[in-house]
Amino acid sequence: VNPRARIARTDWTFPWFIGAALLVAVAGGFTLALLLPLAQLEGWDWGARWPALVQAHGHLQVVGWAGLFVAGMAFRLVPRFAAQPLRFAWLTPVVLALLLAGLMGRTIAQPWLNKPGMHALLIGSGLSESVAASLFALSIGATLARATRTLSVAPLFLLGCVGLLGQALLGVAWLSRLTPSLPVISDQRDEVLLGLQFYGFLLPFVLGVSLRALPAFFKHRAPGSFELWGLAGLLAAGSTIGVGSLLLGNGSMAMRARDIAAVLTASAMLGAFFETGVWKPPLGLRPSARPAALLIRTAYLWLLVASVLLASGGVAGVIDGLAMPPYLDDAIRHILALGVFSTSIAAMAQLLLPLLAQRRLQRRAAQREIWILWALFTLATTLRMLGALLQAGSAAADSFGFIALSGLVGMSGVLYLASTMVAAIRRPPAEILLQEIRRP
* Residues contributing to the site for ligand HEM (CB under 6 A): 30, 33, 36-37, 54-55, 57-58, 61-62, 65-66, 190, 194, 330, 333-334, 337-338, 341-342, 380, 384, 403, 406-407, 410
Nearer to ligand HEM, 29 or 223 (CB): 29
Question: Which residues are registered as beta bridge partners of 179?
Answer: 182
CB of residue 194 vs ligand HEM: minimum separation in angstroms?
5
**What minimum distance in Å lies between the beta carbon of 25 and ligand HEM?**
8
Residues 6+ apart with CB under 8 A from 126: 102, 106, 168, 171, 172, 175, 176
DSSP state of 287: G
Q: Is 57 exposed, middle or buried (0-12, 13-18, 19+ CB in 10 A)?
A: buried
* Residue (296 or 331) nearer to ligand HEM, CB: 331
Judged by CB, which is closer to ligand HEM: 291, or 407? 407
- Judged by CB, which is closer to ligand HEM: 22, or 86? 22
User: Of the candidates 238, 155, 141, 244, which has an alpha carbon nearest to the alpha carbon of residue 195?
Assistant: 238
Residue 77 or 345 with smaller CB distance to ligand HEM: 345
User: 40 vs 240, which CB is nearer to ligand HEM?
Assistant: 40
CB-count exposure of residue 229 (10 Å: 0-12, 13-18, 19+): middle
Tell me how long the chain is: 440
State the nearest-atom distance from the C-beta of 285 to ligand HEM, in Å: 26
User: How far, in Å, CA of 35 to CA of 411, rounded?
Assistant: 12
Q: Residue 23 Cβ, how far from ligand HEM at the closest point, in Å? A: 15
Alpha-carbon gap, residue 92 to 75, rounded angstroms: 8
CB of 265 to ligand HEM, least distance (A): 15
Choose between 235 and 285: whose C-beta lies nearer to ligand HEM. 235
Q: How many CB atoms lie within 10 A of CB 108?
A: 16
Q: At what angle do helices 187-195 and 154-175 cross, to 10 degrees?
A: 160
Distances (CA, A) of 93 to 12, 96, 105, 132, 273: 9, 5, 18, 10, 34
Rounded to a whole number of angstroms, the minimum distance from the CB of residue 164 to ligand HEM is: 14
Measured from the CB atom, the residue of 57 and 212 that comes closer to ligand HEM is: 57
Phi and psi for 327 in degrees, rounded to 5?
Answer: -65, -35
Q: What is the nearest approach in angstroms of ligand HEM to the Cβ of residue 136?
A: 18
User: Is the CB of residue 219 less than 8 Å from the CB of residue 285?
Assistant: no
d(CA 143, CA 346): 27
Q: What is the nearest approach in angstroms of ligand HEM to the Cβ of residue 184?
A: 8
